[in-house]
Copies of this chain bind each other. A is one copy, B any other.
Amino acid sequence: MTYCVAVRPDAGLVFLSDSRTNAGVDQISTFRKMTVFEHPGERVMVLMTAGNLAISQAVRSLLTEGVDDARNLWTVSSMFEAAQVVGEAVRAVYQREADTLREHDVHFNISLILGGQIGTERCRLFQIYSAGNFIEATDENVYFQIGESKYGKPILDRVLDRHISLDAAAKCALVSMDSTLRSNISVGLPLDLLVYEANSLHVTRFASLDEHNQYFRMLSRSWSERLRDAFEHMPDPTWVPVEGEEAPITRVTANHEAELAVRATSSARQDSGRIQTLAEGLPQKTPS
């Protein structure tokens, strides 16, 4: 698998990708998943791919080598057209490969993120599906993920919005990647991090981060410590009996900040004393 994330705050664009590919767990390789198309002063586009590596490479090769002279990423006049060109490349590879792959029970699996800026148009960010269709990020939904996206999604949902700075967005993407690396061995270092400042029309900053990278190591260690610290400073539940209830009831309270009525399960056992099926609608007394 793979994990890639891109953010489109007002200030520009941030792209982050890992570099692990695997076929099973005994064939693990390093392949970079980020491709940059840059014509300084005119256009900058960044493409990230996840899914079947052969399909990803075929699409990328079509876009970088087998270029239609009339309509390609260097000639299109808007990012919308650029996303169309990428979608068309996906469809061209599908036409060529899908039938054969299907005979070998290989699913035509690819997803892509394309972001960038052309001329005076605004920065735009797209997610492109294996059918070649795509969606665009908006002010309300400023990020896209492809690949192993679930582990790293909660921090994005909590932190990102259109007003975040580019460096903070890069930090958030790195934290999201760190959570993913920690919980899933199919995602691995090195990472490619690219930051694009809106209207600069050249790549503002790029870094390749490996296991020796001190900033990422500091971030990873610091985030772990801060998470554990934050976790420890939240009150544990405290369970206290509730008065005036017919059946044994407890409450859970936390430093008087919050409390919750709790019915002790022993009150809802069947008379046989043997079974209590919460699924059937606790808390309530079971008829005796």
In whole angstroms, what is the CA distance A218 to B238 when docked?
A: 13
Inter-chain contact A157/B183, CB cutoff 8 Å = yes
Interface assignment of A244: CB less than 8 Å from any CB of chain B: no
Contacts of A215 in B (CB 8 A): 237, 252-254, 258-260
Nearest-CB residue, chain B, relative to A278:
B34
Residue on B nearest A33 in the bound complex, by CB: B279
The answer, yes or no, to whether A172 is at the interface (CB within 8 Å) is: yes
- Chain A 86-113 interface mask (CB, 8 Å, partner B; 1/0): 0000000000000000000000000000
The answer to whether B151 and A273 have CB atoms under 8 Å apart is: no
Known: A269-B38, A273-B40. A230 touches B229 (CB 8 A): yes
A183-B150, A217-B258, A260-B214 as given contacts; A274 in contact with B229, CB under 8 Å: no
Binds B, one of A5-13, A124-132, A162-170: A162-170
**Interface 1/0 per residue, A20-39 and B, CB below 8 Å:** 00000000000111111111
Complex CA distance for A180 and B207, rounded to whole angstroms: 31
Q: Mark A68-87, 1 if CB is under 8 A from B, else 0.
A: 00000010000000000000
Q: Which of A114-122, A136-144, A219-227 contacts B (4 or more CB under 8 A)?
A: A219-227
With the chains together, A231 CA to B176 CA distance in Å? 11
If A206-B282, A224-B158, A237-B170 touch, does A274 touch B39 (CB 8 Å cutoff)?
yes
Which chain B residues lie closer than 8 Å to A182 at the CB level?
154, 157-158
Majority-rule SS of A interface residues: mixed
A55 within 8 A of B: no
Are A265 and B150 neighbours in the complex by a CB distance under 8 Å?
no
Cβ-based interface call for A264 (8 A): yes
The reply to whether B74 and A274 contact each other, CB–CB distance below 8 Å, is yes
Residue A54 CB within 8 A of the other chain: no
Which chain B residues border A36 with CB–CB below 8 Å? 265, 275-278
How distant is A189 from chain B, measured CB to nearest CB, in Å?
13
Measured between beta carbons, the chain B residues less than 8 angstroms from A234 are 171, 175, 219, 222-223, 226
With A234-B219, A237-B215 in contact, do A250 and B34 touch (Cβ < 8 Å)?
no
Shortest Cβ distance from A43 into B: residue = B274
CA distance A269 to B38 in the complex (A): 8
Contacts of A32 in B (CB 8 A): 278-282
A206 nearest CB neighbor, chain B only: B265
Contact B192 A179, beta carbon cutoff 8 Å: no
For A208, give its contact among B35, B233, B282 (CB under 8 Å).
B282
Q: In the complex the two chains form, what is the Cα distance from A128 to B159 in whole Å?
A: 36
Q: Which 6 A-B pairs have the closest CB atoms?
A: A150-B150, A214-B258, A226-B230, A167-B236, A32-B279, A154-B179
A-B contact pairs, 7 of them (CB 8 A): A32-B281, A64-B275, A206-B278, A207-B250, A208-B262, A227-B227, A230-B230
